[in-house]
Amino acid sequence: MARLRDVYRSWDEMIIKALELDIENRRNIYSKKIVYITGMGGSGIIGDFIRKIFEEEFDKQKIMILSGKHAYMPSYLKDFKKELFLIAVSYSGDTAETLRVYRRSRDENIERGVVTSGGALYEEASRDGAPIVKVEKGLLPRASLPYLFIGALKMIELLGLDMEVIKSSLKNLSKKVSELDPLSERVAEEVIEDIRNKRRIVFISTYKYDVVTERFRTEYAENLKYFVETAVFPEAGHNFIETLREGLSTSIYYIHDPIDLESELVYGLLRKISEKTEDLRLIEIALPENESYISKMFAGAYIAGLSSSIAAERLGIDPSYTGNIKMYRDHVSEYYMTH
């Protein structure tokens, strides 16, 4: 089995393969105005990514993107069944929470599609005649972001939306992914130093990149088995910022978009605070300047995955092993399948 770091480094190939995937049971669904994307863990962040991209750059498409990372179909959505398209994303196809939501949507006769590599979700969607994007098997969900994201994007295209701008950006990024490796290595080394020195680690961004900040938290939890904090401005400026003081030995990892005025503004503030605070470190994670928003989002996710897996390996931790997550799944599976 390939080392996890090498799986992340294959994102360039993964993007190209994902763009070539077909949709089984393909049909146009032009009447839908609300898309609800459900999933958990590495599959769940797909909805957050797509919601954010539509929020920032595709607001004129007049499509509402909602995402849910839980086991429930929000009751208010039942009032909009005729306008609703549900996309269930589960890499394994056996995620209990996602299967539960998919089955509830079927009970409510809601139009639905799935992105998966197989499992029960694939089998049920096939029987239902639902649109399916089947991705490559044998990967970890969190490392298969390009497959799952592009698969969900293809589902949204069924609504008659033109996603060529996004796909073109990703194709362009695939040629440059390896350029992010030196920064990922540096972040990994900084984190290793902070862990050895028992420092508090905080990943910070502006709201524009809050999903990337969350991605760092989840990747470091799964790969490095380590808790890192997150903070997002401007909200963090009204509370969290008071914790940036002497005595807490804090290391700030700032996800910085150098050409974004708000991001630059917050970076300037953090530099001022770090200069006057004795044991506060500020590490910049600079996103690529001459790239699209989606490319910057993917770049941040790539750095999160690669740096956390590198740090884990160098600290003697297996980044692929997630024993407690398996224990959780075994513990709750029957409940979600029967309630």
Tokens of residue 266, six digits = 């917050």
pTM for this entry: 0.96
Q: Is the dihedral of CA 10, 14, 16, 17 positive or negative?
A: positive
CATH topology classification for 4-172: Rossmann fold (3.40.50)
The separation between the first and the last C-alpha atoms of the chain, rounded to the nearest angstrom, is 36
Q: What phi and psi values does residue 32 have, to the nearest 5 degrees?
A: -90, 140
| In contact, 88 and 38? CB cutoff 8 Å | yes
Residue spans per domain, the chain? 4-172, 177-314
Residue 184 CA: distances (Å) to CA of 9, 41, 231, 239, 307: 11, 22, 20, 30, 5
Residue 89, beta-bridge partner list: 115
Q: Are 252 and 204 in contact (CB under 8 A)?
A: yes
Which pLDDT belongs to residue 31?
86
Q: Whole-angstrom Cα distance, residue 233 to residue 263?
A: 9
Same fold, 4-172 and 177-314: yes
Query: So what's the pLDDT on residue 57?
Result: 79
Query: Is 22 exposed, middle or buried (CB count within 10 Å of its CB: 0-12, 13-18, 19+)?
Result: exposed
pLDDT tens across the length of the chain (339 residues)? 569 999 999 999 999 999 999 999 999 898 899 999 999 999 999 999 999 999 887 765 678 999 999 999 998 898 999 999 999 999 999 999 999 999 999 999 999 999 999 999 999 999 999 999 999 999 999 999 999 999 999 999 999 988 888 889 999 999 999 999 999 999 999 999 999 999 999 999 999 999 999 999 999 999 999 999 999 999 999 999 999 999 999 999 999 999 999 999 999 999 999 999 999 999 999 999 989 999 999 999 999 999 999 999 999 999 999 999 999 999 999 999 898
Fold entry, domain 177-314: Rossmann fold (3.40.50)
Shortest CA distance to 117 belongs to which of 94, 149, 143? Answer: 94
CA-based nearest residue to 169, from 14, 293, 303: 293
What does the pLDDT read at residue 244?
98
